[in-house]
Structure 1
Amino acid sequence: MHLKKVVTIAGCLALSGCVGNLDTLLNRQAIDAPANWQDTKAVTPIDNNWLASFQRDDLNRLVQVAMQNNLEIKKRALDVDIAEQKLKQANSSFFPDLDFSFSQKRANSANDANPTNTSSLGLDLTYELDVWGKLSDQAKQATQDLNYAKATFEQARQQLAADVSTAWLKVIETRQLLELYDRRVQTARNNLAIIESGYEKGLNEARDVYLGRNELDSELSRVANQRAALSEARRTLERYLGDYPKGILQINGEIPMLTQEIAPGLPADLISRKPSLAASWNSLQSKNAALAYAHKQRLPALNLSATLNETADLPKNLFDGSAMLWSLLGSITAPVFDAGELKSKEHVARLELRQAEYQYLNDVYDAYLAVENAITREDSLEQQYAATQLAEQNARTALDLSFEQYQRGLIEYTSVLDSQSRLHDAENSLIQIKSELVANRINLHVALGGDFQHSEAQ
């Protein structure tokens, strides 16, 4: 993918020249996609039901609740409704405007003591002929804006499913860590009781007692901090669900294991599959139509108008069968002098189109980068998890041996604490890496543009 793949525009259209649709600088099909992802050779199409791969009914229910109650999703849905109404407004320009008027006037002159009454009604019809396709360009812009709103809404739905899943995962992770810290408190209490008993028998030093008490206090502090983290994680999830601030959400179960390999599909499919890239492309096309409209604003406009009027002294006489006055007028209006306003507007539209082109290319590059990084990170996390499992087993064995040696008076209690610290680090890492693996898989699905449910279920 290089900028040299971008084709250039045919040039500015002169006011007296061609007024056809202005083509965008960017040729979407000219963007080169990698033949495959760097760290995988899989070509299986991405699964459009990734939520089901976790096999958790509670998570499915939470996502469905969020889709109904989340405030951001509701706002995005209104964006679609607004864009639909704006498209209707743009399409209404193809039809004539018909206005009805009625007035009644009572007046007299200085030389006439008797006032006169005048009543009138009229129908005014105006219509602009779309000679240059200006109104068509306006409708095209509104259509692309609607497509942009729909694609943005779809991307927001996918992101919300990912956010809910990640927040749900965070609740489970923090709860498992809290349970782990509670077990450590109990272990610290048991160790302290053994040390104090040995001290009373003259087998241990006073320093060991203080070290044991310090260890217990540290674990109690960690538990208190983790309880707060769990409450925060629950509130975050409730916020996504539109259920804040009840604070009563309970999430049970374990962190799910990834039993299936990711199916990333082909890089070339990403552009058409990912909703955020579709939104970016629609935005680009909207700017393209806006440029064409701004250009044609500088051209003459051909308008037709028809008027039908009747006047009488009293309202009841307006329909007495007398002949009504009518007129038909065709007019051409063209801007002559506006201090360069229309020309400046066209130039701004052209620059905004160029901005949209660069933004689209930037979005495409970022989309590929996000997928590549997520694939690489998954491989790294899998290796970390396997190594940490071995480290946890070794640390647990080392701690058991250290405590036995301490009770036999062969080593000091600081050696036990050192072994215990290594085990604690490995236990924490196992839970956190397992959670990171699932969170990274969720992010990878979003990066690939795979939906969280079957398309027929939408």
Structure 2
Amino acid sequence: MSCRFVPPGHHVSRRSRAVRQAPRFALLCAAAALTFQLTGCAVGPDYHKPAAAVPESYKEAPEGWKTAQPADTADRGPWWLIYDDAQLNGLMDQLNASNQTVAQYAAAYRQARALVGEARAAYFPVVSASFSGSRARSPARVSNSNSNGFTGSGSISNNVNLGLDATWEPDLWGKVSRTVSAQEAGQQGAAADLANARLSAQATLAQTWFALRSLDAQQKLLDDTVAAYQKSLQLTQNQYAQGVAGRADVIQAQTQLQSAQAAAIDNGVARAQDEHAIAVLVGKPASAFSIPASALTATPPTVPVTMPSALLERRPDIASAERKAAAANEQIGIAISAFFPTLTLSASGGFESSVLSQLLSMPSRFWTLGPSLAATVFDAGLRRAQTEAARAAYDQQVAAYRQTVLAAFQDVEDNLASQRILAQEIVVQQQAVESAQHALRIVTNEYKAGTTDYQNVLSSQTTAFTAQQKLASIAGQRMVSSVGLVKALGGGWDVSQMDQETGGVAAPAPVAASDAAASGAQGIAPSSHGAMQDAAMQGARPQ
């Protein structure tokens, strides 16, 4: 919208009277706008949370497990403290500060939060100011007596403009309010996505950590097995030197030892990969990060299990899917509002003069007020198609929400079943280890006495080693499954935290080479949480 300034002598008195009447027009315009705003209605369907199938209880819950009490389901903060592992706590601190995936979702949340402010700006008028100046020369006039001559040398005029424009579109049909609601739902969904990304990264770190410790335990078993096979080879060589055993027995014992040595070396590949994965999770270069070996000694803590209905409030991925459905519902109303006319209120005013010193004088003032009403008469079905597309998008988000709920219950049931079955399996496997070791001792003594051949010794050694390796593997699986159950139950998160999320996680700076080398040399440093850890352990006490 342009601003005009009237030069002196151009009906100044009439414009001056108009200027004196401007406040009346402004009040009338404001009253009309307020009336439209109050009487405006939001077209389109109101949002209702989609219904989802929720079971009354978990089928795979172990017998005797007690449903968590309200105090147990309260936010425990750092959920990983229930494992009472200082080294894991230190790694979690590094992840929360430096994980690049979490930083991406934090930036996406801040973007969603800014979009809410952008949508709310449509509630208010847009005001713009302008200032311009020009200098023009007009051509000389042609003489009436002599067509080939001119009179005068033309004229030079100056023009200076100073203006202020304002436009506002009242939210008659709820387009702005629904846009704001859609962006607010998007912000909450982004907060839930951020929480889900953080929880996933934390759970992946904990699972990888316990998998690495399980590999350390298996490495110790392999090293002990290699030492035992070396003794067995020495025994066979002694038997061969005395003529009791044959050359084939020595070759078999040597082959078994070499196979165990190869397995011990191969175990290092998986451990190195887990160590590198942890480095990436905590935001450090894999080449400058190391974790000292230490066998797994932890056992899974008892995780309080909430009612299935509470899972809808505890899982950030479910909350995110529900918020996406809410945002899609608001888009339907936005599409429907296009069927109705739009009202735009505009006003402009300012000063215009040919003399700069007289620019801000009363005779140089001018103003204009005017509403405009616009409606689309024909669009070849565009708005109807957009509305149908919005409805289909909403149905898609509802289906995605229900699918997320179903997958969440499957996740819980899978981990409950895993915990229950592995707890039973580890008892039986421990018995199998004891039986295999007892059989190995008997066969070894018989071989020393010359009452059995070396093939029985090899078979017993293989059985004992396999049973021990299986036991170590099950122990690691139980810890990994325990973390999976905590994650499946939502960790320490609650849906109320969507409105408390700040998204303050900035993109971490690259780790300097000197810092990375220092971190690699020091390995991982234990983190001291003090009373927080004690409180967390109390909040997650076994039922």
C-alpha change, 1:452 and 1:414, in structure 2 (3 Å) is farther
Counterpart contact for 2:236–2:245, Cα < 8 Å: yes
* Equivalent in the alignment of 2:307: 266
Which residue of 83, 101, 120 corresponds with 1:72?
101
Q: Secondary structure at the match of 2:191?
A: helix
The one-letter code sitting in structure 1 at the alignment partner of 2:105 is R
Kept in 1: contact 2:42–2:178 (CA 8 A): no
1:447 Cα deviation from its structure 2 partner: 0.9
Q: Distance in 2 between matches of 1:255 and 1:140?
A: 51
Report the Cα distance in structure 2 between the residues aligned to 1:118 and 1:227, rounded to whole angstroms: 83
Residue 20 of structure 1 pairs with residue 20 of structure 2: no
Percent sequence identity is 23
Query: Which of 164, 175, 181 matches 2:205?
Result: 164
CA distance in 2, matches of 1:87, 1:207: 79
Which residue is 2:133 aligned to? Answer: 104
8 A Cα contact 1:51 1:452, kept in partner: no
- Residue of structure 1 in register with 2:176 after alignment: 135
Read off the aligned partner of 1:385 and give its amino acid letter: I
Q: Is 1:92 matched with 2:121?
A: yes
Q: Deviations over 1:320-342 (max 9, x none)?
A: 44332210010111112333333
Q: Specify every segment of 5 or more residues in structure 2 that has no aligned partner in the other structure, as ranges.
A: 1-40, 141-152, 501-531, 537-543
After superposition, the Cα gap between the structure-2 partners of 1:43 and 1:436, relative to the gap in structure 1 and judged at 3 Å, is same
> Compared with structure 1, are the counterparts of its residues 116 and 386 closer, same or farther at alpha carbon in structure 2 (3 Å cutoff)?
same
Q: For residue 271 of structure 1, what is the amino acid of its counterpart?
A: L
AA aligned to 1:286 is: A
Using the size of structure 1 for normalisation, the TM-score is 0.90
- Partner Cα distance (2:49, 2:278) in 1: 42
Structure 1 residues 452 and 419: alpha-carbon distance in aligned structure 2, compared to 1, 3 A threshold: farther
Q: Using a 3 Å threshold, how does the CA distance of structure 1 residues 364 and 125 change in structure 2: closer, same or farther?
A: same
> Larger relative CO (CA 8 A, sep 6+): 1 or 2?
2
Name which of 264, 269, 276 aligns with 2:317: 276
SS of equivalent residue, structure 2 residue 55: coil
TM-fit CA distance, 1:181: 1.0
Residues 336 and 33 of structure 1: CA distance in aligned 2, closer, same or farther (over 3 Å): same
Helix, strand or coil for the counterpart of 2:168?
Answer: strand
The whole-number CA distance in structure 1 between the counterparts of 2:370 and 2:244 is 114
Query: What corresponds to 1:203 in structure 2?
Result: 244
Partner of 1:249: 291
The alpha-carbon distance between structure 1 residues 214 and 253, as it changes in their structure 2 partners (threshold 3 A), is: closer
Cα gap change, 1:314 to 1:345, in 2 (>3 Å): farther
- Per-residue CA deviation, residues 69-94 of structure 1 (Å, 9 max, x unaligned), is 11111111111111111000011110
Deviation, structure 1 residue 61: 1.8
Displacement of 1:311 after TM fit?
2.4
For residues 47-66 of structure 1, the aligned pairs below 5 Å read 47=73, 48-49=75-76, 50-66=79-95
Aligned length: 437
Provide the rounded CA distance (Å) in 1 between the counterparts of 2:279 and 2:42: 54
3-state SS of the aligned residue for 1:336? coil
The residue that corresponds to 1:10 in the other structure is none
Work out the CA distance in 2 between the residues paired with 1:296 and 1:452.
37
Distance 2:277 2:349 in 1: 65
Amino acid at match of 1:79: A
Distance in structure 2 (CA, Å) of the matches to 1:362 and 1:236: 30
Amino acid at match of 2:369: L
Which runs of 5 or more residues in structure 1 are unaligned? 1-17
Instruction: Check conservation: 1:120, 1:315, Cα contact below 8 A.
Output: no
Show CA shifts across 1:185-219 (max 9, x none).
11122211221222122221111111111112111
C-alpha distance in structure 2 between counterparts of 1:116 and 1:435, whole Å: 90
Instruction: Give the root-mean-square deviation of aligned CA atoms.
Output: 2.3
Tell whether the 8 Å contact from 1:161 to 1:452 is kept in structure 2 after alignment.
no
Q: Aligned equivalents of 1:223 and 1:133: distance in 2?
A: 69
**Which residue of structure 2 lines up, in the alignment, with residue 33 of structure 1?**
54
- Mapped to 2, the partners of 1:423 and 1:404 lie a distance apart of 15
How many angstroms does 1:410 deviate by?
Answer: 2.3
User: Aligned to 2:345, what secondary structure does the other structure show?
Assistant: strand
**1:42–1:265 contact (8 Å) kept in structure 2:** no
Q: Match of 2:364, SS?
A: coil
